[in-house]
Amino acid sequence: MATLEIKDLHVQVQTEDGPKEILKGVNLTIKDGETHAIMGPNGSGKSTLAYSIAGHPKYEVTSGSVTLDGVDVLAMTVDERARAGLFLAMQYPVEVPGVSVSNFLRTAKTAIDGEAPKLRTWVKDVNAAMDRVKMDNAFATRNVNEGFSGGEKKRHEIVQLELLDPKVAVLDETDSGLDIDALKIVSEGVNRFKENGDKGVLLITHYTRILRYIKPDFVHVFVNGQVAEEGGPELADELEANGYDRFVSAAV
Amino acid sequence: MTAEVLENALEVEKVESHLHPEGSFDLADHPVPVGTEEIWRFTPLKRLRGLHADAALDGDAFKVEVDLPEGVTGTSVAVADSARGASGLVPTDRVSARAWDATTSVFEVTIPEEFTGDQPATLHLIGTGVEVASAGHLLVRAGKFSRSTVVVEYTGSATWAENVEIVVEDGADLTFVTLHDWADDAVHLVSQHARVGRDATLKHVAISFGGDVVRSDTSAEYAGPGGSVEALGLYFADEGQHIEHRLFVDHTAPKTKSHVVYKGALQGEGAHAVWIGNVLIRKVAEGIETYEENRNLVLTDGCQADSVPNLEIETGEIEGAGHASATGRFDDEQLFYLRSRGIAEAEARRLVVHGFFNDLIRKIDVPSLEEKLTATVEAELAKNVLKAL
């Protein structure tokens, strides 16, 4: 059982010209077993939504609510949100010098589970998760994301997704910058995660091509900080054919 | 400017700068500093207990424990019978000159030619009081083609002025480590000078955690082409602590290399770290390569880090020369990334600080020290960063 419910969410950021509102009343409910795609042009606020759910300090929630199974997410710290079952796969994963992937993964897993994973099975689990996304096991000894290519960083995000096994995964433009092989590998990872049971997926993307590999149940078109239109997978097909023009001009 | 004037300007044999220190054994050449001098402007003179002025240096409030691998010798030798000066050390400041004058014996560590050993030679200097000031002189000689590690560890309380000479003979490979793990009230001023032979390698490591004031002045020159110096430093300046590292690499021979990396963390009111990275590339030093880097991680309010790299180049015929310096707080994006994976804030900060030092500890590559360094970083973190846990 997992339901992520976003109600009338307003979010602003500080700019040189004062506060600027980016999200202007977002409503969205993701139930377990559902995959929602959020699509929209650049600057529509898609990534802001992802980071606001995860609790990035740059984004200030001015009104509205986000709850996970009825519990107030906005009252939680960043790490509490992750331990409550939220996961954000980032568009630009951060490099952490001097911290090995293996140490990072074990520390994160320990934090999420509340106890250290059993050493023997854990190493096996990590290696298997890396194998599944065709990441060399040698990456375990490298520093987190340091010197990784764009595709390697995204695979590393999927390894984390599979090992940390959250309730709801938010994938922020995980498809950007990937070639077709990497896109398939990453998509397969997300699909495996979904098959694990009652998982919610919020897939944020600019392009429709990832939706060929990850089938959404719902598609939301995001324009100017709001959901402009909602529908089923057929809405993605329309966007592929016609682009965002209809929505952008309607919003102006 | 006429062409002739320009030419003359470029052909000046001697440039007036503190990168050309004129050493002297005569104390009269080193007046008592007042604090405005370039080499003293960062140092809190009032806390030196007169080491820089006229305090007697005849104390004996210390003991020395020595643990040497077989083949390496370590003995205290009367100055008259010693090889003092073998590195070419000439005092460049008053404390060094005074220590030179006051010393009656030299502790000589000698690594024989072609010696090879994994077990480090360790000298442990334990201070037993701060009331009297003492002076010391250490001379380490690594014989031709030897390969060895020498660790000097300082603990306890002391008011200590010291000269250290390091001679790395042709083809030798020496790792020389100083570990300043002093008690909170120690004052230690040390001048180190290294002479690096032809095709010789010196890895010089300075680790500074303890003490009230620790000022370490390290210079290196090359006795022949092909020599290499890697200088690594790791420090943690706590509340009220002054930790100063001054480095001077004098590229006196062609095809030589120097690589300096110093990393430090600061925490607590009045924590002060100073790093001076001076490099001089002499006209004769063609084909050399040098890089200097200093990074400071500021963990709390109220700290100050001064970081000054200087590079003076007398020949353009070199492989490369560069430097970098950065002082910053925690990277918010790194912390967000770690926390978004469930890792609590204090733990995330701990990971980032360990990460900051880890690459350096790996480079130091003295297995017997590695665990101790990681543990010390952990203990330092417990003072502020992990308080929230």
Q: Where are the domains of chain B?
A: 3-329, 331-389
Interface size, chain A vs chain B, as Cβ–Cβ contacts under 8 Å = 79
Among A19-28, A156-165, B220-229, B352-361, where is mean pLDDT lowest?
B352-361
Q: How confident is the model at residue B3 (pLDDT cuts 50, 70, 90)?
A: low
What are the tens digits of pLDDT across the range B107-120? 999 999 999 998 99
Position B389 scores a pLDDT of 44
Chain A nearest-CA distance from B42, in A, is 30
**Residue B385: is its pLDDT beyond 80?**
no
What are the tens digits of pLDDT across the range A124-144? 999 999 999 999 999 999 999
pLDDT above 90: percentage of residues in chain B: 86
Mean of the pLDDT values across residues B343-370?
92
For the residues of A175-233, what is the DSSP string, one character each?
TTT--HHHHHHHHHHHHHHHHTSS-EEEEEES-SGGGGTS--SEEEEEETTEEEEEESH
B180/B211 Cα distance (integer angstroms)? 7
Cross-chain Cβ contact A98/B343 below 8 Å: no
- Please state, rounded to an integer, the average pLDDT across all residues of chain A: 94
**Residue A176: is its pLDDT beyond 70?**
yes
C-alpha dihedral over A207, A211, A217, A223, to 10 degrees?
A: 0
Position B238 scores a pLDDT of 94
CB A78 within 8 A of CB A54: yes
B375/B340 Cα distance (integer angstroms)? 27
What are the tens digits of pLDDT across the range B48-106? 999 999 999 998 889 999 999 999 999 999 999 999 999 999 999 999 999 999 999 99
**Residue B20: is its pLDDT beyond 80?**
no
Q: Could you state, in order of their start, the residue ranges of all structural domains in chain A?
A: 3-251
Mutate to test the interface with B, among A52, A86, A107 (most CBs of B within 10 A): A107
What are the tens digits of pLDDT across the range A53-98? 999 999 999 999 999 999 999 999 999 999 999 999 999 999 999 9
A94/A107 Cα distance (integer angstroms)? 16
Position B271 scores a pLDDT of 96
Cα distances (Å, whole numbers) of residue B83 to A125, B89, B98, B103, B251: 61, 12, 19, 13, 24
Residues from A contacting B (CB-CB < 8 Å) are: 54-57, 77-79, 81-83, 87-88, 90, 93-99, 103-104, 107-108, 111-112, 143, 160, 164
Q: How confident is the model at residue A247 (pLDDT cuts 50, 70, 90)?
A: confident
Q: Which two tokens stand for residue A142?
A: 């490298």
Residues of B in contact with A104 (CB under 8 A): 338, 341, 351
Between B381 and B3, the more confident residue is B381
pLDDT above 70: percentage of residues in chain B: 94
Mean of the pLDDT values across residues B180-192?
97
Position B387 scores a pLDDT of 64
Count other Cβ atoms within 10 Å, centred on residue B304.
16
In one letter, which amino acid is A31?
K
Mutate to test the interface with B, among A80, A86, A96, A164 (most CBs of B within 10 A): A96
Cross-chain Cβ contact A93/B348 below 8 Å: no
Position B123 scores a pLDDT of 97
Residues of A in contact with B359 (CB under 8 A): 97-98, 143
Mean of the pLDDT values across residues B152-162?
97
C-alpha dihedral over B207, B209, B214, B219, to 10 degrees?
A: 10
Mutate to test the interface with B, among A78, A88, A157 (most CBs of B within 10 A): A78
Per DSSP, the three-state class of A55 is coil
What are the tens digits of pLDDT across the range B296-338? 999 999 999 999 999 999 998 999 999 999 999 989 999 999 9
Per DSSP, the three-state class of A3 is strand
Q: Which two tokens stand for residue B349?
A: 């900060």
Position B368 scores a pLDDT of 87
Strands B62-67 and A226-231: unpaired
Question: Between residues 352 and 371 of chain B, which touch chain A (CB distance below 8 Å)?
Answer: 352, 354-359
CB B174 within 8 A of CB B151: no
Q: Global pTM?
A: 0.86
Complex ipTM over 0.85: yes
Position B8 scores a pLDDT of 56
Return the closest-CA partner of residue B224 out of B293, B176, B170: B170
Residues of A in contact with B337 (CB under 8 A): 90, 93-94, 96
Between B377 and A89, the more confident residue is A89
C-alpha dihedral over B101, B102, B105, B111, to 10 degrees?
A: -60
Return the closest-CA partner of residue B299 out of B346, B360, B242: B346
A54/A41 Cα distance (integer angstroms)? 21
- For chain B, give the secondary structure using H, E and C: CCHHHHHHHHCCCCCCCCCCCCCCCCHHHCCCCCCCCCCCCCCCHHHCCCCCCCCCCECCCEEEEEECCCCCEEEEEEHHHCCCCCCCCCCCCHHHHHHHHHCCEEEEEEECCCCECCCCEEEEEEEEEEEEEEEEEEEEEECCCCEEEEEEEEEEEEEEEEEEEEEECCCCEEEEEEEECCCCCCEEEEEEEEEECCCCEEEEEEEECCCCEEEEEEEEEECCCCCEEEEEEEEEECCCCEEEEEEEEEECCCCCEEEEEEEEEECCCCCEEEEEEEEEECCCCCCCEEEEEEEEEECCCCCEEEEEEEEEECCCCCCEEEEEEEEECCCHHHHHHHHCCCCCHHHHHHHHHHHHHHHHHHHHCCHHHHHHHHHHHHHHHHHCCCCCC
A229/B100 Cα distance (integer angstroms)? 83
In one letter, which amino acid is B138?
L
Q: How confident is the model at residue B1 (pLDDT cuts 50, 70, 90)?
A: very low
Among B15-19, B275-279, B285-289, B338-342, where is mean pLDDT lowest?
B15-19
- For A106-163, give the secondary structure using H, E and C: HHHHHHHHCCCCCHHHHHHHHHHHHHHCCCCHHHHHCEECCCCCHHHHHHHHHHHHHH
> A45: which DSSP letter?
S
Chain A nearest-CA distance from B359, in A, is 6
CB B346 within 8 A of CB B378: no
Cross-chain Cβ contact A98/B336 below 8 Å: no
In one letter, which amino acid is B308?
V
A90/A77 Cα distance (integer angstroms)? 18
First to last CA, chain B: 66
Residue in B339, B340, B355 nearest the CB of A97: B355
What are the tens digits of pLDDT across the range B244-287? 999 999 999 999 999 999 999 999 999 999 999 999 999 999 99
**Residue B195: is its pLDDT beyond 90?**
yes
Position A248 scores a pLDDT of 78
Mean of the pLDDT values across residues A158-164?
97
Cross-chain Cβ contact B351/A107 below 8 Å: yes
B374 to chain A, any CB pair closer than 8 A? The answer is: no
Cross-chain Cβ contact A164/B334 below 8 Å: no
* Residues listed for chain A: 252
Position B22 scores a pLDDT of 82
Cross-chain Cβ contact B354/A143 below 8 Å: no
Residues of A in contact with B347 (CB under 8 A): 107, 111
| Chain A residue closest in CA terms to B351 | A99
Q: How confident is the model at residue A164 (pLDDT cuts 50, 70, 90)?
A: very high
Q: Is the dihedral of CA B128, B129, B134, B138 positive or negative?
A: positive
Position B76 scores a pLDDT of 96
CATH of A3-251, picked from 3.40.309.10, 3.20.20.80, 3.40.50.300, 3.40.50.720, is: 3.40.50.300
Residue A73 phi/psi, 5-degree rounding, is -75, -35
| Chain B residue closest in CA terms to A114 | B342
**Residue A171: is its pLDDT beyond 60?**
yes
- Please state, rounded to an integer, the average pLDDT across all residues of chain B: 93
Q: Which two tokens stand for residue A99?
A: 């911290």
Cross-chain Cβ contact B333/A94 below 8 Å: yes
Chain B nearest-CA distance from A166, in A, is 10
